[in-house]
Homo-oligomer: A and B are copies of this chain.
């Protein structure tokens, strides 16, 4: 029986990472939702970098770079980590390499980068990700990006959703209290996540910044089929994405025809 466990934030990673070679990194509001969305919609690959200076360096070499800190676009960049903005710019970004740095998400990716497999999770790609995880014969550690190393509610709900699917299959077990708690919170929140999260600190932060459209998008499960995976320092789609418009039998399409 494989294990699935949840680490709430990068601050606790060292306590949980032992015994795992497959890590799912989550930053629902908004980095990993944006990454799934960008790769689903034609971006060729994403270079996650932990620091703004690093993003500037890539920018100066001619790459398209996006940088967010504290919910806002960093001055000198055209984009932050808004999935809605990535969608709006899909034509411009098609086939491109995108360099991305965000407050929490890219830091968490960096932390897990030495593992054999690092994939990106969000509510947006929930089912596709779980189906794939169920095909692997690996212990799965879900790493929430948190908010500046603190526990956050939206990543915990998403992590709980993933753990719930894996455990319900009968192929995975969980031992940690963090996993038990996250699964419980997810089950309580799933029918009305937007309202459940109204007390969350990050939603308040984003509401102040008029980012409710992004929040609604990020809290929509299964509008994306892409599973981003880290390969040689770049996030690329694990498979070619599948049509996401209402289709009963999704047809697989190559990413960059």
**A256 interface residue, CB < 8 Å from B?**
no
In chain A, positions 182-207 with a C-beta closer than 8 Å to chain B are 184-185, 188, 199-202
B181 close to A150 (CB less than 8 A):
no
Q: A15 on the interface (CB 8 Å rule)?
A: yes
Determine which of B150, B181, B188 lies in contact with A177 in the assembled complex, contact meaning CB atoms within 8 Å.
Answer: B150
Query: In the assembly, what is the distance between CA of A151 and CA of B6, in Å?
Result: 10
CA distance A9 to B202 in the complex (A): 21
A128 CB within 8 Å of chain B:
no
Which B residue sits closest to A151, measured CB to CB? B178
Q: 0/1 per residue, A141-162, Cβ < 8 Å to B?
A: 0000001111111001000000
Q: Are B150 and A16 in touch, CB under 8 angstroms?
A: yes
Provide a sorted-by-A list of 22 A–B residue pairs whose CB atoms are within 8 angstroms.
Answer: A8-B8, A11-B11, A12-B150, A12-B151, A15-B148, A15-B149, A15-B150, A16-B150, A150-B176, A150-B177, A151-B176, A151-B177, A151-B181, A153-B177, A153-B181, A156-B181, A176-B201, A177-B200, A181-B185, A184-B185, A184-B188, A185-B185
